């Protein structure tokens, strides 16, 4: 018989995951610049940290939960669409698949950010906008591409700085993170 891997979370883990979900909701709903087609903010940080600390499944689950909680607790007038919840789950899952229990090198961080930018931010989210608003896909794509071309190196730099920060490394010493710098 095949043994199934079970996850055992301590109270500390549940508290950390809950705090990161709350932080993502706050960063998304209150500290981001948002239009109908573009959102600029730092809400990716808690998602990436959870994916690095706990893996792709916890990252995906917490991303989806943060999206649902944020929408239903603090609606902003945009309609709910499950595609965005799927995007909120897939992004951290990609970060977890690329960064969890692997050396956090600049190349790996660039690969993770690039994959999320291309697949989720430009690909999936542009598709959801097309479906929701019946906007011309090719008409809104240049705006979204410019935003993501500008934000990709910024997000990559922020993640590289966070993973290289000695204070953050000390706080996260209990997790199986393979720091490289």
Residue-wise pLDDT for 114-127, tens only, equals 999 999 999 998 88
Mean pLDDT (whole number) for 40-62: 93
Whole-angstrom CA distances from 142 to 10, 156, 163, 174 are: 46, 21, 31, 43
Instruction: Average the pLDDT over 2-23 and give the result.
Output: 83
139's tokens: 């008409």
Tokens at 174, concatenated:
């209990």
- Tokens in use for 58? 């916890």
Q: What's the whole-number mean pLDDT along residues 16-29? A: 93
Element (H, E) at 126: helix 125-133
Residues in the chain: 181
Q: Which two tokens stand for residue 172?
A: 């996260």
More confident residue, 94 or 29: 94
- Reply yes or no on whether the pLDDT at 40 is more than 90: no
């Amino acid at each position: 018989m095949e043994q199934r891997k079970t996850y055992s979370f301590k109270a500390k883990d549940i508290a950390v995951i809950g705090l990161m979900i709350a932080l993502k909701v706050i960063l998304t709903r209150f500290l981001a610049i948002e239009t109908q087609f573009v959102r600029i903010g730092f809400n990716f940080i808690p998602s990436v940290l959870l994916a690095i600390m706990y893996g792709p499944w916890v990252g995906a689950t917490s991303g989806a939960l943060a999206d649902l909680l944020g929408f239903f607790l603090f609606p902003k007038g945009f309609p709910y669409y499950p595609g965005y919840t799927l995007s909120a789950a897939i992004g951290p899952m990609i970060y977890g698949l690329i960064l969890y229990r692997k050396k956090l090198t600049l190349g790996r961080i660039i690969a993770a950010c690039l994959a999320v930018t291309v697949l989720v931010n430009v690909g999936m989210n542009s598709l959801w906008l097309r479906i929701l608003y019946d906007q011309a896909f090719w008409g809104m794509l240049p705006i979204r591409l410019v935003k993501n071309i500008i934000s990709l190196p910024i997000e990559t730099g922020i993640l590289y700085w966070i993973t290289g920060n000695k204070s953050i490394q000390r706080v996260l010493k209990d997790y199986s993170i393979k720091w490289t710098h």
